[in-house]
């Protein structure tokens, strides 16, 4: 996912691509004095979702390596703006970090009770429906999962609001709403659908990726089915306020570089269907710039920004 709401005062120390990989840079030296007290890890999304779960595992492994508690705090609301702003405006002493949402691709998921149990029949129904007939959810208005829906609709030649978006504070409540019949479609990562799919209550009918996910080889992509010519990838990264001390950045970066290959982390991610791909800060900055450019047209179509004429 791209970082859609970029605070003006921020500094990404590192990143992870692949919808949940970790990474601040792999720095050569560990800080001797950092951390000397507990660190706060802000998650801008609700408890129970993929970002929350990943943030808690990363925090636990950082705590093991750096010897101080890394306390997760969920700061939700405003399509991520509240949490993102809290990270960006925190004291830049290294003791407040954050998990920014957003490289996994989103799935298109329906209830197991849905009349449409494959992407072909669902697509046909959506295309032939009156605007507003179908409802979808996955995150807040303007979040990456919303933009995934908008991109899919655009690829079908439909207006961005042809399917009504029902905002939620993360994937977990969206999936609950799907099972309860409040919405017809959820667009979140495969890992975030796993519990409901494994319980037989939801079905992943397609993946908005350029290729099938190794964790879910049975889920076809939109492109291969011919249902749409559209693909999207999201990411999560670990960040901190701009100009935080270099020794703190180096310490966290070095620890994250290790965590990316830690068997405990790898098993955790694989078990939830999340891919792992580590990027150092420079590579992550380039990826962010490319992702922001890619999503510009989609955000404009959703009425979230005005592109210069």
Q: Write down the pLDDT at residue 103.
A: 62
Tell me how far CA of residue 41 lies from CA of 17, 69, 75, 221, in angstroms. Answer: 19, 10, 10, 34
Mean pLDDT by 10 residues, the chain (309 residues): 28 35 38 85 86 91 96 88 91 91 80 97 97 95 88 92 93 95 95 92 95 88 90 81 88 90 90 75 78 70 64
Q: How many residues does the chain have?
A: 309
Q: Write down the pLDDT at residue 99.
A: 85
């Amino acid at each position: 996912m791209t970082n859609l709401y970029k605070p003006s005062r921020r500094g990404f120390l590192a990143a992870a691509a692949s919808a949940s990989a970790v990474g601040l840079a792999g720095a050569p030296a560990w800080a001797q004095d950092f951390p000397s007290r507990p660190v706060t890890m802000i998650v801008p999304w609700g408890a129970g979702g993929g970002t929350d779960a990943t943030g808690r595992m990363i925090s636990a492994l950082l705590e093991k390596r750096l010897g101080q508690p890394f306390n997760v705090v969920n700061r939700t609301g405003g399509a991520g703006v509240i949490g993102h702003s809290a990270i960006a405006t925190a004291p830049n002493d290294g003791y407040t970090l954050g998990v920014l949402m957003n490289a996994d691709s989103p799935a298109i998921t329906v209830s197991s009770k849905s009349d449409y149990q494959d992407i072909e029949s669902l697509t046909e129904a959506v295309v032939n429906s009156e605007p507003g007939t179908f409802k979808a959810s996955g995150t807040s208005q303007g979040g990456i999962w919303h933009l995934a829906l908008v991109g899919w609709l655009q690829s079908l030649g439909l207006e961005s609001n042809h399917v009504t978006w029902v905002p939620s504070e993360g994937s977990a409540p969206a999936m609950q709403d799907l099972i309860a019949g409040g919405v017809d479609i959820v667009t979140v990562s495969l890992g975030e659908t796993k519990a409901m799919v494994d319980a037989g209550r939801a079905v992943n009918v397609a993946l908005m990726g350029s290729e099938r996910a190794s964790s879910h080889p049975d889920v076809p992509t939109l492109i291969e089915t011919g249902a749409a010519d559209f693909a999207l990838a999201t990411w999560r990264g670990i960040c901190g306020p701009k100009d935080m001390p270099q020794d703190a950045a180096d310490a966290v970066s070095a620890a994250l570089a290790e965590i990316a290959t830690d068997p405990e982390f790898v098993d955790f991610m694989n078990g939830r269907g999340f891919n792992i791909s580590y990027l150092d800060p420079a590579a992550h900055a380039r990826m962010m710039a490319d992702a922001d450019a890619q999503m510009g047209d989609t955000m404009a179509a959703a009425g979230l920004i005005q592109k210069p004429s």
